[in-house]
Structure 1
Amino acid sequence: MRMYNWTRHPAKRPFRTRLMWLFTAMVAAQVVSGPGAAAENELAALPAGSQPELVFTVLSDSHVSSFDKSNSLKLERALRDLNAVAPGAAALVVNGDLTERGKPEDYKAFQSVLEASPHPKQVLLTIGNHEYYSSWYDASGQWNASTFPNGESEEQSKSRFLEAAGRSRIYEDTQINGYHFILLGSEQYRQSDASIEEDAYLSQEQLDFLETQLKAASGSGRPFFVFLHQPLPNTITGTSAYPNHRSVVQHEALLRILNKYPQAVFFNGHTHYTLRLDQAVVTPSFTAVNTSSVSNPLQLDQRAVGTGESEGLVVKVYKDRVWIGARDLMRNEWIWPDGLQVGVTATAASVQPMLSSSGSSLTGAGQAASPVHQLLLWFKSQIGLR
């Protein structure tokens, strides 16, 4: 989840600038959103008895720590639930913010949960902004922003993550049952540049790597799966407004790459927004998927959905489509009763329209937040509400 930098808060900028931002956001929302935003469902029903070629599960934002056992218990519960509904899953992806502080004892607590809980043999991890958070804690173990980075380097933070992930590089491509799983992640934090804030910094080398892997994978005609903790702006739930209006420093370059490959299915956490909200899955040209949070799913106003809430995904890959199921990990039930089917080809990505219980769209074509929502978030940002 994003941590606010109050020294760069919009309230400290000139009113005229803030007003211009609001006007621009409202115009963008009017242009992008609309009744025709959701893609039409052109997928025929799956033949009876169809078996997926691949099943995997996705979690994010577990925020496990050594000092608070509640998130460890939520992760244990999540793994038990996913094992019950997807016992044959080939892989588990934990898409960033595995830990609360990125400290050795937090990774030890995270690993202890994995060792004590059923899960797929293959576990893939991406780095989140909280994996860099040891830099906010002083020698006494207390949060101390005044002494940031408290003797912690980015290399130390990355080294601990890579040891937990069992690899030598932040970004990687792994094939499972012939399908590509491309793991991306931020290579820098505020020590390098304070303006990065909580966003992902992707080097040119990482972007080149991504394009090379996508180009190679596209020849198979199969979908491929890309994971990054932070989302792209103007895609999934809540990414059209502050504080998630950038989230990736090189978002324009990343978007240019992904736009070339409709087979890409791009999973993001960070926002914690519940899978019950609008735009949980969108198809700007590729497919973007919100992965919510194990530890604390949120409403758009940043309030917790409720005590004990926890969410995750089950993904089933068929020859001509990808089925995505959202799980309520507290109640052990499906959030989307029938799941959601995404048709992915070399020329187009389409998502089956699906409505929430309130009748609003959970899917769409990269719809922006409504002008009213933009206005609400802007005013909240002016008075310091999180």
Structure 2
Amino acid sequence: MSRRAFVRWILGLLILIGAAATGLYKLLLRAVDAQNVSQPNADSDLSQPKQEQAKTERAAVDENAALFSFMILSDLHISGYDPNTTKHLKEALDDITKFEPPVDALILTGDLTDFGGEDGYRELKKLLSGFKLPPIYANMGNHDYYDIWVDKNGAFNKDTMPNGKTDAMARERFMKFFNQEKIYSSAVVNGYPVIMLSQETYVQEKPEYGEGAWYSDEQMNWFKEELNKHYTGKPMFVMTHQPLPPIGSDGRTHQLIRAKQFREILKPFKNVFVFCGHRHQDFQNGAEHYVKESFHYFHNSSVGRVLNRSFQNAGKDKSQGLYVQVFKDRVTVRGREFSKRSWLPEADWDIKIT
């Protein structure tokens, strides 16, 4: 074989080997691709059931979550002369804003200030505006009428009462602060009615009732209408300041006066929760804080001054309130110690919706 022929033979052989190698390489690539398709991996569609499972788990958690929650703060007693009440309210508001999920509403059940004067409301406004809070609903307590006891020198003076003041001035001050047309009000929050009843007068106008909460015919009729208007069988929430007297009697000083009519109005309705303040009783002192009547009745403690059974502010560091959560089948009510950011096992109720 000549040299030229040998070179041509070698070149042909190399071309054939190259073609075979290329074919083998493509064949191997197809085999690898096929192998990859047959093995599950993070990008494969076979990972979707895990994602769907996670979604299902999240949905189950959401289904069991609270539908509505609110915090009740009673007896704040804010004033310019008692820094302890200011400290306690700051503790409470700071604690509440850290709740997760966030609280849907903040409810203040009377004795917002210690004397109901402009200075007390200025201090309260400063405190509330210092935090990012949910919608606030409030009613009046007896102390919110106390400006009639304060003389022109800022001293508590029984001898000169009413010191040029009137109960009407106290009502106007409250309504202006909360931008209300009346001192009683209602709201529907997350589909749940919240009814705020308020003491309408004090000793300048009706001295015979002392520190008791008197409600007019107008307010009592309005209360009944609100219950009928919003009733669906779902929980409804009613707030007063003064507590009820024993069943079968009307109230006196420091109590809700028209108690028999109040109870009669509530009788036709299921799943009503009534909350009051005024007593300041420590959740940990053995006092009764929950009573089952035709409605569920709760006595709150106090943010500003928590009292022992002898009505002394023995635990000056304490600051307490109630946290309410509504679930599909139940309502939970829990006592909170704001100074320690802790729950109180002595105040823990789980009530089934009927």
Common fold: TM-score over 0.5: yes
Q: Does the CA-based 8 Å contact 2:211-2:253 persist in structure 1?
A: no
Q: Which residue of the other structure, out of 128, 137, 144, is the alignment partner of 1:114?
A: 128
How much is the aligned-residue C-alpha RMSD, in angstroms?
2.3
1:324 to 306, 310, 333: 333
1:136 corresponds in structure 2 to 149
Q: Is the 8 A contact 1:174 1:180 kept in 2?
A: yes
Structure 2 letter corresponding to 1:60? S
User: What is the aligned counterpart of 1:307 among 313, 316, 319?
Assistant: 316
Q: Which residues of 2 match residues 53-202 of structure 1 at below 5 A?
A: 53-120=67-134, 122-202=135-215
Contact 2:233 2:270 in 1 (8 A): no
Normalising by structure 1, report the TM-score. Answer: 0.72
After TM superposition, give the deviation of residue 87 of structure 1 in Å. Answer: 4.7
Of residues 247, 264, 268, the one that matches 1:256 is 264
Secondary structure in 1 matching 2:97: helix
Using the TM superposition, give the Cα deviation of residue 131 of structure 1 relative to its aligned residue in structure 2, in angstroms. 0.6
Superposed counterparts of 1:279-294, under 5 Å: 279-294=288-303
AA of the residue aligned to 2:169: Q
**SS of structure 2 residue aligned to 1:313:** strand
**Which is greater in Rg?**
2
Q: Is the 8 A contact 1:63 1:100 kept in 2?
A: yes
Q: CA deviation at 1:119?
A: 2.3
Moved more, 65-74 or 309-318: 65-74
- How much has 1:340 moved relative to structure 2? 1.5
More helix by share: 2
Deviation at 1:68, TM superposition (A): 2.3
Task: Tell me which residue corresponds to 1:224.
Answer: 236
| Map of 2:19 onto structure 1 | none
1:65 deviates by 0.6
Once the 2 structures are TM-superposed, how far is the Cα of residue 304 of structure 1 from its aligned partner? 2.2
* Conserved 8 A contact 1:274-1:305: no
- Paired residues of 1:244 and 1:271 also in contact (CA < 8 A): no
Kept after mapping to 2: 8 A contact 1:233/1:246: no
Q: SS in structure 1 opposite 2:107?
A: strand
Superposed CA deviations along residues 209-231 of structure 1, whole A, max 9, x for unmatched, are 1111112222x120100001111
TM-score (norm 2): 0.78
Moved more, 300-309 or 183-192: 300-309
Shift of 1:67: 2.3
SS at the partner of 2:98?
helix
How many Å separate the matches in 2 of 1:300 and 1:289? 17
8 Å CA contact retained: 1:82, 1:314: no
Q: Which deviates the most, 203-212 or 260-269?
A: 260-269
* Identity %, equivalent residues: 30
Q: Measure the CA separation in 2 of the matches of 1:317 and 1:227.
A: 16
Counterparts of 2:233 and 2:189 in 1: how far apart (Å)? 15
SS of the equivalent of 1:231 reads coil
CA distance in 1, matches of 2:270, 2:209: 29
Query: How big is each residue's C-alpha offset from its partner over 1:146-179, in whole Å with a ceiling of 9 and x where there is no partner?
Result: 1111111111000001111221101111111111
Task: Quote the offset at 1:48 in angstroms.
Answer: 9.6
2:308 counterpart of 1:296? no
- Once the two structures are superposed, residues 236-276 of structure 1 have per-residue CA deviations (whole angstroms, 9 ceiling, x without a partner) of xxxx9xx9886011111112112332321001001111122
Q: Tell me if structure 2 keeps the 8 A contact 1:153–1:191.
A: yes
The DSSP-based 3-state class of the residue aligned with 1:110 is: helix
* CA distance, structure 1, for counterparts of residue 62 and residue 108 of structure 2: 32
Deviations 1:182-235 (A, max 9, x none): 0100111111221111111100111111111112222x1201000011111138
Shift of 1:47: 8.6
- The 8 Å contact of residues 89 and 303 in structure 2, kept in 1 or not, is answered as yes
CA distance in 2, matches of 1:84, 1:195: 45
1:333 and 1:191 map into 2 onto residues whose CA distance is 41
Aligned residues: 293
